Structure 1
Amino acid sequence: MQRRVVVIGGGVVGLSCAFYARREGFDVTIVDPGVAEGRASFGNAGVLAFCEQLPLATPELIRELPRLLLSRESPLTVRWRYFPALLPWLIRFALSSSSASVHRAMQGLHALMSGALAAHQDIAHACGTADMLTHTGWIKAWQKAPSRTGSSERDMLADLGIGMRELSSAELADLAPGFDGVFEAATLFSDCYHVSSPGRYIASIAAQCQASGVRFVDGVVSEFRQERGAVRGVLTEAGSRIDADDFIVAGGAWSKRLAAALGDTVPLDTERGYHLMLDVGAAPVLRAPLLWQEKSIVLSQMEDGLRMTSSVEFAGLHALPRYEKIERTLAAVRNTVPSLADARINSRWLGFRPSVPDSVPVIGRSAQHRNCLFAFGHGHLGLTLGPVTGKLIATQLADRPAPIDLGAFSPARFN
């Protein structure tokens, strides 16, 4: 008889877990509310950011944190009513900036990234969407050339073998034709790929899962059902019970409550991210996604227009969206970039990035229940690391040795 697995969460991480668990021969059910546009990866910039192997909490950022919290134009926004709830997370974030913690996080992310591209290619090939993965690189650009051409962070990335090179004016004009003359300096991180429609890409994984026999239950898990100290099933808010042998918590920003219900305390919070979709006509303005350093925005040419994504807002899961800040940024961009002066906003979106203070996702077994596994906390790297996370979780389900040391990702590290 096939072992039954329930995956809680139908975003890119949960779908990847289901995909690989089904490939291993498990009987798989996904429980998810089914609102595709609410998933964190649906509205991101589509960057497979294989170069992002450093944690967010670094000594340099911690020194800047007071200014970032107080500046009206900061890439970091905290709604002050939410600050008391956020404070324990911020303290852990600051503690994660020590040299030892940064090194551990960097080594963990590097190990995880080592299999990330292959896992994407594997899933995309199975889904018939390999053409959606484009090897564009990722541009990081400055309006004003920084006074220092090198940095400790760049040196650390170079030590990890990350491909990067400075772009000439002609090369930048070719990659970003709609931004000619805007930037004085730019670096191309050449290892990165681009997905021009993350929503369609994720939908293709869901369709492949369904075609392979994965069942989908539209619902929200309200609690776990335990018998004689072991988890035997989940109960949805609608009252349905789904029994299984193994359970995977991959609910993104909603996973903290589920982990706590299993007896695991994980310092998870939500980095809210906004995007605007701009109608820029038929001619491409970008041939590779671009991070505008001074404005802390990513611009990305999508199938249906130009996407502009914002940085970070902390306000929890329930506060109403506030689009004013990203719209002010767009107004400043329009004043600087003639090709965007008349670009119409087609849509606005808010998504929720599940983030832990040390920037290292939670991948592994519950400390309290061996038949429950966690796969969440990927922050800005959910799309990038979703498939490789699913592959590692399936390896654990099958009780095979993992190809990398999973100790750095264990939920027990927070105890």
Structure 2
Amino acid sequence: MQEQKTVVVIGGGIVGLSCAFFARRAGYRVRVIDPDVQDRRASFGNAGILAVCETLPLATPALVRELPSLLLSPDSPLRLRWRYLPALLPWLVRFVRASAPSASLRSTLALNSILTTALDAHLELATACSATQLLVPTGWIKAYQSEQSYLSQSAERSTLADWGVAMRPLGRAELDALAPGFHGVFAKATLFSDCQQVKNPGQYVRRIAQGCAEQGVEFIQDTVRNFRFSGNRVTGAQMTDRAIDGDVFVIACGAWSKRLAAEIGEKVPLDTERGYHVMLDASDRTLLQSPLFWHEKSVVFSQLDSGLRMTSSVEFAGLNAPPRYRSIDRTLAAAKRLVPTLAGLPVESRWLGFRPSMPDSIPVIGRSTRQSNCFLAFGHGHLGLTLGPQTGRLIAKAIQGAQTEIDLAPFSPSRFSMRRSNDAAAA
């Protein structure tokens, strides 16, 4: 019987918790192993946007052409610590390959398939975990200081419209009503109306964890070092001082997943985009009704229950380098010069987190091709919060051997080795 089988989920962020919740709902005994470092999770520190409009992958020919200048500019939102370049180079090569038209189309198809019902998965999970009040249908504003900047994104908007993404232009009066703290700053804007906002991402994750515990999920505060094997199956997860046995294992520990995936024979090109945020004290005023992406500065402002959050600065430097807040501090200072209402807001805190990113923008979701009782659920990049519950539903069905409504082949951990084989055959 399913109740007798134990699913061990490695990772307690939004993806791991979602896998645990839906596996438990399917009747399995579930254990979650996580060191419980709450403020290092990407889902803790993001802008709280359920960005179901993000159907297009990050790798595009235009971005690839801009990469050298982006990496060399001191004011760029994309930074690389040059000592990390040798480690990152294979990822960058795959990123460039992923920008090819055929590869980009594959990524877009995959993203579109999984984003379409992502909000349904959030509602299902949030309802069960008493967290629906944290979900607000705000939409997401992408705003431009000039007509020229707005027109520069016309092709992207047209492509998104072709894929069925809901959007509409905002007039100046409507924009000022949705973003009163930024009155007069922007000339043009687009509202992506289907997006929602999580008003307190940290609390949302805690509610889901509490809901899992109430359903009988067991939590173990520890770190998995390696696995124990028997044949082509994993039999246990070795932690610091003990091992946990299980029947099924799910690797869902975000940017820390690559090493454990390699332990079971899956070589995946996972790296981390280090993301920064600054929290401003705006508890006594409403500056934004909807989260806002500022195109020219490549930052997101999001008014949360805890204040105004500004997220910015993608940095490639691995998991161990210390944080550098200089870039995001410069960006905030520049924003304050243009937005008087920001000038008087004190900085409450700064944060660094780690986004687990695949070069083709497609997460790894599905059964391992190396160990039959292992499943992988990581690599969601900027869409971890958006796709966490959806991923959990899919993993639970895959564990059961049930047919999923979404084709998981594009998300398979084997897709990179398969592509190498296809390329060699074509040559």
| Aligned match of 1:221 | 224
Residue equivalent to 2:74: 72
- Structure 1 residue identity aligned to 2:224: V
Cα deviation, residue 63, structure 1: 1.0
2:393 alignment partner AA: K
One-letter amino acid of the structure 2 residue matched with residue 414 of structure 1: F
CA contact (8 A) 2:283 2:306 kept: no
Cα RMSD for the two superposed structures: 0.9
2:10 is matched with 8
Q: Distance in 1 between matches of 2:233 and 2:283?
A: 57
Partner of 1:194: 197
Q: Which residue of 2 aligns with 1:153?
A: 156
Amino acid at match of 2:184: G
2:114 is aligned, of 105, 112, 115, to: 112
Q: Residue deviations 1:96-150, cap 9 Å, x none?
A: 0010011100000000012200000001111111111110000000112226266
SS in 2 for 1:311: strand
Q: Which residue in 2 is equivalent to 1:169? A: 172
The runs of at least 4 consecutive aligned structure 1 residues that moved more than 6 Å come to none
Shift of 1:17: 0.1
Give yes or no for the alignment of 1:103 onto 2:105: yes
Structure 1 residue ranges without an equivalent (≥5):
none
Task: Name the SS of the counterpart of 2:31 in structure 1.
Answer: strand
Q: 2:182 aligns with which of 156, 160, 179?
A: 179
Per the alignment, residue 130 of structure 1 pairs with 132
CA distance in 1, matches of 2:369, 2:67: 33
Percentage identity across paired residues of the two chains? 58
Q: Which moved more, 1:309-318 or 1:222-231?
A: 222-231
Q: How do 1:246-257 and structure 2 match up within 5 A?
A: 246-257=248-259
Aligned to 1:62: 64
1:406 is matched with which residue? 408
Name structure 2 gaps, 5 residues minimum: 418-427
Alignment partner, residue 363 of structure 2: 361
Residue 324 of structure 1 aligns with an amino acid whose one-letter code is R
Is the 8 Å Cα contact of residues 232 and 372 (structure 2) preserved in structure 1?
A: no
Q: Distance in 1 between matches of 2:228 and 2:373?
A: 13
User: How far, CA to CA, are the matches of 2:153 and 2:15 in structure 1?
Assistant: 35
2-structure distance, mates of 1:275, 1:349: 5
| Distance in structure 1 (CA, Å) of the matches to 2:251 and 2:233 | 16
Match of 1:265, SS? coil
State the 1:264 CA deviation.
0.6
Match of 1:352 among 354, 360, 366: 354
| Alpha-carbon shift at residue 274 of structure 1 (Å) | 0.4
Match of 1:318 in 2: 320
| Rounded Cα–Cα distance in structure 1 between residues aligned with 2:50 and 2:95 | 24
Judging by fraction of residues, say which structure has more helix.
Answer: 2
Cα distance in 2 for partners of 1:31, 1:373 equals 15
1 CA distance for matches of 2:14 and 2:82? Answer: 31
